[in-house]
Amino acid sequence: MEMRTMRAVCALGAVLSLGSCQVLNVIFGSVFPATTVLAKAQANLSGQITSNDGSAFHVRVLETGGYGYVLVIGNPSSGSVAFIYDLDLNFKQTLILSQGDGAMVDALGRIVVGNIVLNPDLTPNSTLPTLPAGTFLFSNNEAGVDGFVDTALTEQIARFSISSGNTLNYTTYPNTWASGSSSIVTLSSSMSNLQVFGVFDDSAAGKAVFIVGQSNNGGSNNATTYFFAAPKATSFVVTTNVLDLSPPSRSNLDTGTFGYAQGTIIAYDNGSGNFVRIDPTTGSTQASFYSGTDPSNTRFAYRVGGGSFYGFDTKARVLTKYSTWW
């Protein structure tokens, strides 16, 4: 009896000292160890997203003009939709999209979600309430960004995909979102069945970081993944056959957990049970921590400057804000 009472008092003391009901999530069960990560806020979307549709959604973080937002966005059977929250997970609005399930900040600092263009304060943009016919953002990867702008702020690069086994496709649009110019580059002369697992915008270094790989052992969660960067110049070019040049690579990474913050890639290592921060230029681990809970149902998005990150549990349909663990 005394031991049970002591445990209850300790738990209550932890909640009172940290001042948040969300601490219960950390004490009694979380994707992340209670000693390293604190859940700061949560939003339950189980009333908006059905249990069958949870896996159709991903999470994105957009920051522009002094505003910051977290988007849970997807294309389930009922049609594309985006649920928008501020960085503290206060609900802002729901967007019903007629096309696309991608999101980005464009070259003029506007927010683009699918085919809808918004000002930084989420009011409709008067000049481009919708993108031109046939132009919309989509996401065919679970992690990263769905477009980024060049360093001259005159163009945006979006619509990444891999076709014919080893060719990367993308489209460059002017900042007016007029008709774009499509480009194709061969990533390897020998590899096939490649996938884009993540595209990230390293705003500090002026580079885009790509994560691609071949499926291995029957599933993308066991893939060997390769990391390479390309400059965000006005004439954006990915090196031909870049995968044949032996770029940094890792195996056993859960591709649904990729993130990017402060110059490093974050992912869950299935082999060691650790979350790891990876130097994309070498593939080496910079920091790690052990997690005994499989995060395979969770999709992540990080603020590129650090400070906090977000996880969307596709099974529970709960969005959580976390403080960083490093």
Domain range summary for the chain, segments of one domain joined by + = 1-30, 35-323
Name the CATH topology of 35-323: Neuraminidase (2.120.10)
Note the pLDDT of residue 294. Answer: 75
Give the mean pLDDT of 157-173: 91
Rounded Cα distance, 26 and 38, in Å:
6
272 forms bridges with which residues in the sheet? none
What digits encode the pLDDT tens for the residues 86-117?
Answer: 999 999 999 999 999 999 999 999 999 999 99
Note the pLDDT of residue 155. Answer: 94
Q: Could you tell me the pLDDT band of residue 317, with boundaries at 50, 70 and 90?
A: very high
Q: Could you tell me the pLDDT band of residue 37, with boundaries at 50, 70 and 90?
A: low
Note the pLDDT of residue 143. Answer: 87
**Token representation of residue 195:** 């996938």
Least confident of 116-120, 174-178, 182-186, 292-296: 292-296
Q: In what order do the strands lie in the sheet with 181-186?
A: 147-149, 155-163, 167-174, 181-186
Give the mean pLDDT of 296-301: 90
Give the mean pLDDT of 177-191: 93
CA 109 to chain centre: 19
Q: Is the pLDDT of residue 15 over 50?
A: no
Q: Is the pLDDT of residue 184 over 80?
A: yes
Residue 170 near residue 157 (C-beta atoms within 8 A): yes
Note the pLDDT of residue 7. Answer: 37
Question: What percentage of the chain has pLDDT greater than the value 70?
Answer: 86
Q: Could you tell me the pLDDT band of residue 18, with boundaries at 50, 70 and 90?
A: very low
The angle at the Cα of 217, spanning 263 to 212, to the nearest 5 degrees, equals: 30
Note the pLDDT of residue 35. Answer: 44
225 phi and psi angles, rounded to 5 deg: -110, 145
Q: In what order do the strands lie in the sheet with 298-302?
A: 39-44, 318-323, 308-313, 298-302
What digits encode the pLDDT tens for the residues 197-247?
Answer: 999 998 777 899 999 998 654 444 566 899 999 999 888 999 999 999 999
* 3-state class (DSSP) for residue 93: strand
- Torsion sign across C-alpha atoms 309, 56, 198, 111: negative
Residue 223 near residue 271 (C-beta atoms within 8 A): no
Note the pLDDT of residue 218. Answer: 41
For the chain, how far is it from start to end, CA to CA, in angstroms?
38
62 phi and psi angles, rounded to 5 deg: -125, 135
Note the pLDDT of residue 33. Answer: 58
Note the pLDDT of residue 222. Answer: 61
Note the pLDDT of residue 216. Answer: 53
What digits encode the pLDDT tens for the residues 236-276?
Answer: 999 999 999 999 999 989 888 899 999 999 999 988 888 89
